[in-house]
Structure 1
Amino acid sequence: MARVIKHPGVGVSLSDLATLKANIDQGREPWKSGYKQLANSPNSRLSYAGRGGPFAKVSRAPDENLNAWRSDMVAISNLSRMWYFTRNERYAEIAKWLLLGWATTHTEFSGRESMLDLGDYALDFVGGAEILRTTWPGWKEADTEIVKKYFKDVLMPAANPYGESMFGAANKGALSLTALGLMAIYNDDIETLDRVVYQARTLAHIGLRNSNDIGMLGDYLRDQGHAYGQLKSLTMLAEALWTQGIDIYSDFDNRLLAAGEYFARVNELVPTTALPFGTTDRYYLTDVTNRGWGGANRGSTALTQLYGAYVLRKGLQAPFIAQRLLGTSVDGTSFMFLRESDTSKATPPPALPIPSTASITSGFSSADIGGASLAGTATYAAGKWNVAGSGWGIWGALDSSHFVYKALTGNSAIIAKVESLENTHPSAVAGVMMRTSLEPGAPRAWMAMNYKSEVLQNMTKLAVYGGSNYANKVTSSGPTHWVKLERIGNIITGYVSPDGTNWAATDVGRIVAPVPDTIYVGLVVSSVTSKLNNSVFSNVQITGGDGGAPRVIPAAPAMLLASPGDGAVPLRWQASFGATGYTVGRSEFSGGPYEAIASGVTGSSYTDTSVTNGTTYYYTVAASNSAGTSGRSPEDSAAPGRPMVKAATGGASNSGNAESALDQDSATQ
């Protein structure tokens, strides 16, 4: 049976709309206040006559006719909702006039940052079009076809102008995916929608995998505004997919819940030490952002959606999201996602094709590529590979090195920690490489270290967003000695990490057709002299490895976060490389002694339900495998308690401005 896309389908259903209208008609808070915000907007009025458009061309960076387009897209959303809530058809008529005016006039959306506006305003123009299409008798099937053509021919290409999987970093790429996903839903375009779902779940520089175990997203150390932008885009996409019966909220141990909790926690100014993380734009070693970001809104739309998804639907706890929502004022968008309960269902997509790795102790082949003057060698002993190689460099167009490799078919990955390399030349490097053939000049990607402990990355003859400036650069000068390459389909991603689990995707390229089934994956050393460079690698793992390396005791988890739930303390920690289980310790005193309350935990999260509200508990986590148990993670604490509830109630006042405190308006601060 062919799949059918549901309408309206971008975050609210017909049932949701009916419940919203009933709450507004009954004057219930906070829906009353949210509707008031909507109705008071200049873009919601029957007198709205546009901002001079529509225009044939709109552009962002450079900006051209942009504000007119933005204003009209907001008006399409506002007027469509006003029609539904008031049943005054004049609102719908104006919304249709605006939407079809742009759809029949606008032929070009250009500029370097077109995808940003399309993602920012997708909920407006797609959401408004969905309401008109499904609820207003004056909307005709011919109108739907006109809008579909506008989306397909003008807006969708502008949401992804750089080619297949070529998206800007973090929030920029997330905005692209959101725009494409929402428009695909309107257009009944299942092929594009499936591709967006796949990309959102596999592309590690923009989607759900652009995150770590504790919930940091790629832009979280950039600034809190962009951090929220990335969180909001991914959440908006997840919510739209939920209305189509697709549950990506559950991916990666409820990763969007972790991302929302982390964002809410740091902006509630709860002491939180950040881990190094980043994007293809930049790898950040510390958090110097504006924590405490936002005013009265403070991210209410995404946090409201996340609260509904995880707390109401899934029965999980989101203490910091709930806390932050208490301090927000409802606005003309977020009220659309306020629910008292939610019994809707969705199904997780099929398991992802993310390649696994295992240690390798033998089976590498060797090649001296590109005129390396001395034959290199590779030997393994006691968990470490010693690779000696010459070659005249691998930076940019240079391709001269010693390469020890396996030929791997299909999806694959390699991980290594660069322990040391000789300073034979300032440009000497040691790292990991993937290449489509062993011939000099073949398309390839590598991530490597130099003697200054800088991470260098390079992609040659691969399609890379941003071109050579993104593909080839020094990524980090911090304590980052772990490097990784991963191939999924025709995409190769380069990563850096301080510990072998907290991987930040810093380089992404696409193998240009024809895409080979088999590529060559391994360790690379280049001395940039006529001498051999002796380099040492540990923790080498590769897809199809033999698993024969000796186990070593894992490091303690780098970070642990505890949250103050109701009768529970949810815990998340950053996984430890090589760990097979974790032991959670708890104390009522900072510094211990700690009682083991759970052992053999196989993931990187646990919820302690044996707690008493009002008591502060202190937690640590230790990692273990067959070699032994690590020391303890850094401690974190939480005091569980019943959450406060935001309510607007009746009352009276007889003194000045105090009356506003009891005006039944939940927007009042």
Structure 2
Amino acid sequence: MWYFTQDERYAKKAREVLLAWASTQTEFSGRESMLDLGDYALQVVGGADILRSTWPGWTEADTAIVKKYFKDVLMPASNPYGDSSYGAANKGALALTALGLMAIYNDDIEALDKVVYQARTLAHIGLRNSNDIGMLGDYLRDQGHSYGQLKSLTMLAEALWSQGIDIYSDFDNRLLAAGEYFARVNELVPTTALPFGTTDRYYLTDVTNRGWNGANGGNIALNQIYDAYVLRKGLQAPFIAQRRLWMPVDGTSFMFLKDSDTSKATPPPVLPIPSTTSITSGFSNADFGGATPASMATYANGKWTVQGAGNDIFWGAQDACHFTYKAITGNAAIIAKVESVQNTNPAAVAGVMMRTSLETGAPRALMAVANNGLAKQSMPKLAVYGGTNYGTKAFNIASSTPSYWVKLERIGNIITGYVSPDGTNWAATDVGRIDAPVPETIYVGLVVASASWGTQNNSTFSNVQITGGDGGAPSVIPAAPAMLLASPGDGAVPLRWQASFGAASYTVKRSAFSGGPTTTIASGVTGSSYTDKSVINGTTYYYTVTATNAAGTSDNSPADSATPQHPMVNLATGGAANDSANNAANARSAFDQNSGTEWFHPGVSGWLQYDLGHTERVQRYTVTSANDRDPRDPKDWQFQGSTDGSTWATLDTQSNQVFATRLKLKTYTIASPGSYRYYRLNITANNGDSTFTDLAEIGLFASKPQ
């Protein structure tokens, strides 16, 4: 309030509040203290920074008091479990945001560098807690937590941008993909989810409340993402742009509305994520815990067959298994598809393992598939807390998938375990750490246990890749990309797809109608996104993608379609509103471009009109339902135009309209638009309420000048 009003009373009161806390509070405790701190870091740290930067009454002594408070009280509470032991998904993202903002205020470069590193590497909370099409770890949990994770990561990215650090560009503009996916599913565009999750839970299907309008539709994060990618980088965000047409402008989100942004930032250095190649030889073998009879591992025709015994490797400190391994120094990873677990014991397992030594009982990390259809996991020392995966260390995997992929990755002292149905859609479901002294060399390989003494488990692995492998496995035709998403841009259709394991490049194909013959519009695409700019606005296009490597080309991905549109501008600004009750103040609420307000009309019918003050050719209009009761939504109406406010021409007629959610925007195209000064929505019936009719917003749209 001080910043916007320049009234010093606000600055003095804000200083008084900040210094009272900073001088008094000595501890901020609680199992989930990072939730409060992450939610309000913007206000607390932002307020302190505004005072320091803009108010002459703020002193260096004040800054010192607040810095000490942040360092001694709030920063430890942002991550009470220490170092990299963050809660999953939204919890960890909240912690990173609080730590990052306070590190910036405190000029603590070491702490800020750690936050940047962790936001880019920790796959259970940061940018890597996502897949190629933009799903974040909590996206299948519920929309509130989905948005919370998106908002935190975006807030952190924006704070870092102000320091000249661009993490928006990481992973093929991953935050743009995450924002577009969130906007798409909540605009109720049909979207089939891929299995995904976190260290809290692995989700097989999307059962969330799509069409969510909590947190005013996500206006804070989505406006920031729009600013970052559309205004700064010149990219398109069609579904965010669509959602912005109705999102309310409130006392917080208005600060993130921009007309332009020419600021610059630089991407940080390339991440130390270990690469992998196939391995056909060079593994050694070891048995632990008295596993008998003798074990062995063989390679043939692209597959490893590992035969071994061992009673258990997951229960307590037991360590009885067969290990086929390679010693690797530094960062390392191993990937394998478990094709079969051949043992009658339902607890028999096959998977991947990392060990700090070859001594029985040494700290180890495991990701495995059990004979009973569960994924199982174990870490040397947990770096996360909470959730189903944490509690049981086992979870269901997609029953429709006959075999599953597992992965372990070591970066520094952090080991992350992953599962995937396809070898690219990796969900980080377990994270651990190796405490000091951290060995330079660890042992990485395939593991089997038969879960019974004297009986062997004869399991098969394909697509085995490891850091420092020999690359000798034959190429296998990649599977089709599991998902393709097309977006309705302006003179363009942005496409994203889930990558295919082993693909060298992709071919994008387009058709004029669903199921029709396709034309290749791009080949040799090496990433998992492409923007089709050879389109005509108003025309619907249908797309598929194939993956290619030396062995051949995959089948088509699932298809998706989009109809690019030139953006229109809402003309309902600067004019005069009225309604059938001659209540201009009430009517203005329908034309204030803020769906947080509403036109609340005493009656089951009535009209709303807008005087532009000059003639315009409105081509499209929108109606947004109020955040009230469904029966009060308009159902039947005529949309009319007039040059004099007396004689009306009916431009469009609608009946039996239903709004699926609150604050739902519906768009209607005028078949034969004309130039009129006055426009009116004449409502003849609502959806059943006997007393009131209401709506949040009416938009009057015309083509934006080229």
- TM-score norm. by structure 1 comes to 0.86
1:337 paired residue among 246, 256, 268: 256
Q: 2:650: which partner in 1?
A: none
Q: 2:406: which partner in 1?
A: 483
**CA contact 2:389–2:429 (8 Å) conserved in 1:** no
2:299 paired residue among 370, 373, 380: 380
Q: 1:73: which partner in 2?
A: none
Deviation at residue 524 of structure 1 after TM alignment? 0.3
**CA contact 1:296–1:327 (8 Å) conserved in 2:** no
CA deviation vs aligned residue, 1:603-662 (integer Å, no higher than 9, x gap): 000000000000000000001101110110000000000123356512224433455444
- In the alignment, residue 139 of structure 1 is paired with which amino acid? W
**CA contact 2:307–2:459 (8 Å) conserved in 1:** yes
Deviation at residue 269 of structure 1 after TM alignment? 0.3
C-alpha distance in 2 between matches for 1:637 and 1:414: 37
Question: The residue matched to 2:569 in structure 1 has which SS?
Answer: coil
C-alpha distance in 2 between matches for 1:87 and 1:128: 14
Q: Which moved more, 1:279-288 or 1:641-650?
A: 641-650
- In the alignment, residue 517 of structure 2 is paired with which amino acid? P
- In the alignment, residue 221 of structure 1 is paired with which amino acid? L
Q: 2:424: which partner in 1?
A: 501
Q: 1:51: which partner in 2?
A: none
Deviation at residue 84 of structure 1 after TM alignment? 1.5
Q: 1:40: which partner in 2?
A: none
Q: 2:448: which partner in 1?
A: 525
Q: 1:115: which partner in 2?
A: 34
**CA contact 1:457–1:472 (8 Å) conserved in 2:** no
C-alpha distance in 2 between matches for 1:210 and 1:467: 16
Give 1:453-492 correspondences, 5 Å limit: 453-461=373-381, 463-466=383-386, 470=390, 473-478=393-398, 479=401, 481-492=404-415
Deviation at residue 465 of structure 1 after TM alignment? 3.2
Question: The residue matched to 1:398 in structure 2 has which SS?
Answer: coil
Q: 1:617 to 1:657 in 2, by over 3 A?
A: farther
Q: Which moved more, 1:602-611 or 1:420-429?
A: 420-429
Give 1:529-608 correspondences, 5 Å limit: 529-608=453-532
Question: The residue matched to 2:555 in structure 1 has which SS?
Answer: strand
1:316 paired residue among 209, 214, 235: 235
C-alpha distance in 1 between matches for 2:368 and 2:248: 48
Q: Does 1:514 align with 2:514?
A: no
RMSD: 1.5
Q: 2:335: which partner in 1?
A: 415
Deviation at residue 197 of structure 1 after TM alignment? 0.2
**CA contact 2:137–2:196 (8 Å) conserved in 1:** yes
Deviation at residue 178 of structure 1 after TM alignment? 0.1
- In the alignment, residue 515 of structure 1 is paired with which amino acid? V
Give 1:333-412 correspondences, 5 Å limit: 333-396=252-315, 397-412=317-332
Q: Does 1:169 align with 2:88?
A: yes
C-alpha distance in 2 between matches for 1:565 and 1:346: 26
Deviant stretches of 4+, over 6 Å: none
Greater Cα radius of gyration, structure 1 or 2 = 2
Q: 1:382 to 1:103 in 2, by over 3 A?
A: same
2:558 paired residue among 634, 642, 667: 634
Deviation at residue 461 of structure 1 after TM alignment? 4.5
- In the alignment, residue 366 of structure 2 is paired with which amino acid? W
C-alpha distance in 2 between matches for 1:296 and 1:167: 25
C-alpha distance in 1 between matches for 2:382 and 2:435: 6
Q: Which has the higher strand share?
A: 2
CA deviation vs aligned residue, 1:522-559 (integer Å, no higher than 9, x gap): 00011122122110000000000111101111000000
- In the alignment, residue 406 of structure 2 is paired with which amino acid? V
**CA contact 1:462–1:512 (8 Å) conserved in 2:** no
Deviation at residue 287 of structure 1 after TM alignment? 0.2
**CA contact 1:361–1:549 (8 Å) conserved in 2:** yes
C-alpha distance in 1 between matches for 2:60 and 2:380: 49
Give 1:417-456 correspondences, 5 Å limit: 417-456=337-376
Deviation at residue 451 of structure 1 after TM alignment? 1.1
C-alpha distance in 2 between matches for 1:527 and 1:451: 9
Q: Does 1:252 align with 2:176?
A: no
Deviation at residue 370 of structure 1 after TM alignment? 1.6
- In the alignment, residue 666 of structure 1 is paired with which amino acid? Q
Q: 1:376 to 1:658 in 2, by over 3 A?
A: farther
Q: 1:125 to 1:593 in 2, by over 3 A?
A: same
**CA contact 1:376–1:389 (8 Å) conserved in 2:** yes
**CA contact 1:459–1:472 (8 Å) conserved in 2:** no
CA deviation vs aligned residue, 1:567-604 (integer Å, no higher than 9, x gap): 00000000000100101000111012110000010000
- In the alignment, residue 351 of structure 1 is paired with which amino acid? V
**CA contact 2:337–2:406 (8 Å) conserved in 1:** yes
Q: 2:122: which partner in 1?
A: 203
CA deviation vs aligned residue, 1:115-165 (integer Å, no higher than 9, x gap): 000000000000110100000011000000000011001100000100110
- In the alignment, residue 325 of structure 2 is paired with which amino acid? Y
C-alpha distance in 1 between matches for 2:125 and 2:166: 18
C-alpha distance in 2 between matches for 1:376 and 1:467: 36
Give 1:110-189 correspondences, 5 Å limit: 110-189=29-108
Deviation at residue 167 of structure 1 after TM alignment? 0.5
Deviation at residue 509 of structure 1 after TM alignment? 0.4
**CA contact 1:495–1:504 (8 Å) conserved in 2:** yes
Deviation at residue 395 of structure 1 after TM alignment? 1.2
CA deviation vs aligned residue, 1:474-516 (integer Å, no higher than 9, x gap): 1223236100000000000000000000000000001111100
Q: Does 1:279 align with 2:198?
A: yes
C-alpha distance in 2 between matches for 1:585 and 1:437: 50
C-alpha distance in 1 between matches for 2:197 and 2:92: 14
Q: 1:243: which partner in 2?
A: 162
Q: Does 1:298 align with 2:221?
A: no
**CA contact 2:478–2:549 (8 Å) conserved in 1:** yes
Q: 2:627: which partner in 1?
A: none
Question: The residue matched to 2:307 in structure 1 has which SS?
Answer: strand
C-alpha distance in 2 between matches for 1:468 and 1:657: 55
**CA contact 1:432–1:448 (8 Å) conserved in 2:** yes
Question: The residue matched to 2:217 in structure 1 has which SS?
Answer: coil
**CA contact 1:525–1:535 (8 Å) conserved in 2:** yes
Deviation at residue 456 of structure 1 after TM alignment? 0.7
- In the alignment, residue 449 of structure 2 is paired with which amino acid? S
Question: The residue matched to 1:640 in structure 2 has which SS?
Answer: coil
- In the alignment, residue 219 of structure 2 is paired with which amino acid? S
Q: 1:231: which partner in 2?
A: 150
C-alpha distance in 2 between matches for 1:463 and 1:302: 28
Paired-residue identity, %: 78
**CA contact 1:390–1:532 (8 Å) conserved in 2:** yes
**CA contact 2:180–2:238 (8 Å) conserved in 1:** yes
- TM-score norm. by structure 2 comes to 0.82
Q: Which has the higher helix share?
A: 1
Q: 1:646 to 1:161 in 2, by over 3 A?
A: farther
- In the alignment, residue 473 of structure 2 is paired with which amino acid? A
C-alpha distance in 1 between matches for 2:84 and 2:351: 25
